[in-house]
Structures are given as structure tokens and as C-alpha cells.
């Protein structure tokens, strides 16, 4: 598979075969697990995925992650991250599968109080999702080293206590469906990341907390909030 990676000035993620490759954009999917949508007082959009973006300079790799300013209610969300090795427009699900470079465990942090305020006022909730260290990414396992990522347990422990648990087969829209959908909105490119949504069990964390995200078949993601 040919690669066409962007500028090395972008942050670089690490692969299990010790390559460092630059990130392009960060797409994030909301309400992609029904139980999580319900726990947030919403429901899944069955017509199309709900998505937003984080700036790539909001991405970090740990192990220390900064607790952000302007919040008293920071929430964790463990997610499967798909990394694209190629791009394209209007991809079919089959074509979408072929552009995936690999997968990693990710953490999407949310200023839940700021997000709730924005929702109540009918305003965009970027302030709740896009800030320093708002997205954390583990080591990427190339797709060539994996079986198809259709069934895999996904969990998050905080201070050695379980918080989130599910399976990626509970996603309403699977990875290839998400890629195909996003490719209808804009041209996807090598180095794009897709945080695919989180299972139920999200909750608050504070400075000093130790978090470990796990997805079967991938490298664990362990971080500490500072």
C-alpha cells in the first residue's frame, strides 16, 4: 500500500514496528454506542453518524496528560482509533477497509460542564472537546499485523478500578462505514485519525488519576493526569 504522508511538522504517532508517521486530521464520532448515547440523555442518529474534529495540536501521547483549564468536570472516553494510510472521496465500505493503515487505543477527554453549557444555549460545543491534551493516542498496530477488527473487548480502568467496558461490535456504525461516510463530506488523506466513539461508563477524573485503556489485540494506553 503506497503512503503519502503530510508534513513532518505535524505531530507524529508511533507504530509497533517503530516507525513515526505524521498525523493529518482528527475526526471524532459521537453517539456511536447506544448505551453511551442513552447515559448522556440522547439517542443514536440512525440516519448518519454524528462527528466533530479536534485540532491536531490537541493530540498527545502521554504518559503524562495535562488536566485542562476552565473545567471542574473532566470526563474520560476510551475509543478505538482508526489510522488512514491512504485517502479518497466517496469511498465504498470495501474501499474504506483498504485505506486503513492500522489501529490504536485512544482517549477522548471532554470538559463536560462546558459542553453542557454550550448545548443548553444551542451553541457549538467545541470548547468542551478541543483543548490542550484533549485527545490521547496509543501505539498504532498496522492492519497487516491484525485480524479484522470487528470484535474486540474495549475497557478503561481508573486507578485500577473498572470504569468502561464494552465491545467494538457494539458500535452503531462500524469503522468502514464511518470512513465511507466521512469521505462523502471531504477528501480523506493519509494520516487522518478517526476516534470511533466510546462505550457507556464515562465519568469524571481528577489530577493524579491513572488511566489504562485496553482493546484486545492492541497495545494498552496508560496515562496519568497531571
Could you tell me the pLDDT band of residue 150, with boundaries at 50, 70 and 90? confident
Q: CA 70, CA 76: separation in Å to the nearest integer?
A: 16
Task: Provide the phi-psi class of 160: left if phi over 0, else alpha when psi is between -120 and 50, else beta.
Answer: left
Q: Where are the domains of the chain?
A: 12-225
Q: What is the rounded average pLDDT of the residues 151-178?
A: 97
Give the pLDDT confidence score for residue 74 in this predicted structure: 98
pLDDT for 7 beyond 70: no
Tens digits of residue pLDDT in 104-120 = 999 999 999 999 999 99
- Identify the pLDDT of residue 188: 98
Q: Which CATH number fits domain 12-225: 1.10.10.10, 3.40.50.720, 1.25.40.10, 3.90.850.10?
A: 3.90.850.10
In this prediction, residue 193 carries a pLDDT of 97
pLDDT reading at 198 higher than 70: yes
pLDDT of residue 62: 93
Q: Tell me the C-alpha distance between 4 and 217, whole Å.
A: 26
Say if residues 23 and 13 touch (Cβ distance below 8 Å). yes
**Which of 207, 213, 164 shows the shortest CA–CA distance to 33?**
164
pLDDT band for position 36 (cuts 50, 70, 90): confident
| Integer Cα distance of 70 and 188 in angstroms | 32
CB 193 within 8 A of CB 83: yes
Amino acid at each position: 500500500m503506497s503512503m503519502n504522508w503530510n508534513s513532518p511538522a505535524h505531530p507524529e504517532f508511533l507504530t509497533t514496528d517503530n516507525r513515526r508517521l505524521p498525523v493529518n486530521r482528527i475526526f471524532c464520532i459521537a453517539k456511536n454506542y447506544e448505551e453511551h448515547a442513552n447515559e448522556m440523555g440522547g439517542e443514536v442518529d440512525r440516519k448518519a453518524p454524528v462527528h466533530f474534529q479536534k485540532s491536531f495540536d490537541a493530540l498527545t501521547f502521554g504518559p503524562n496528560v495535562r488536566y485542562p483549564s476552565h473545567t471542574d468536570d473532566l470526563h474520560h472516553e476510551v475509543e478505538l482509533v482508526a489510522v488512514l494510510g491512504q485517502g479518497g472521496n466517496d469511498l465504498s465500505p470495501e474501499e474504506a477497509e483498504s485505506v486503513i493503515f492500522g489501529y490504536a487505543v485512544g482517549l477522548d477527554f471532554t470538559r463536560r460542564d462546558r459542553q453542557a453549557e454550550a448545548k443548553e444555549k444551542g451553541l457549538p460545543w467545541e470548547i468542551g472537546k478541543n483543548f490542550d491534551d484533549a485527545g490521547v493516542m496509543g501505539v498504532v498496530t498496522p492492519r497487516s499485523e491484525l485480524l479484522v477488527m470487528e470484535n474486540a473487548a474495549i475497557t478503561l480502568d481508573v486507578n485500577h478500578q473498572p470504569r468502561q467496558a464494552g465491545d467494538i461490535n457494539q458500535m452503531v456504525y462500524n469503522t468502514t462505514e464511518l470512513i465511507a461516510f466521512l469521505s462523502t463530506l471531504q477528501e480523506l488523506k493519509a494520516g487522518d485519525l478517526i476516534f470511533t466513539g466510546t462505550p457507556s461508563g464515562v465519568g469524571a477524573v481528577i489530577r493524579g488519576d491513572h488511566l489504562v485503556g485496553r482493546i484486545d489485540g492492541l497495545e494498552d494506553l496508560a496515562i496519568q493526569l497531571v
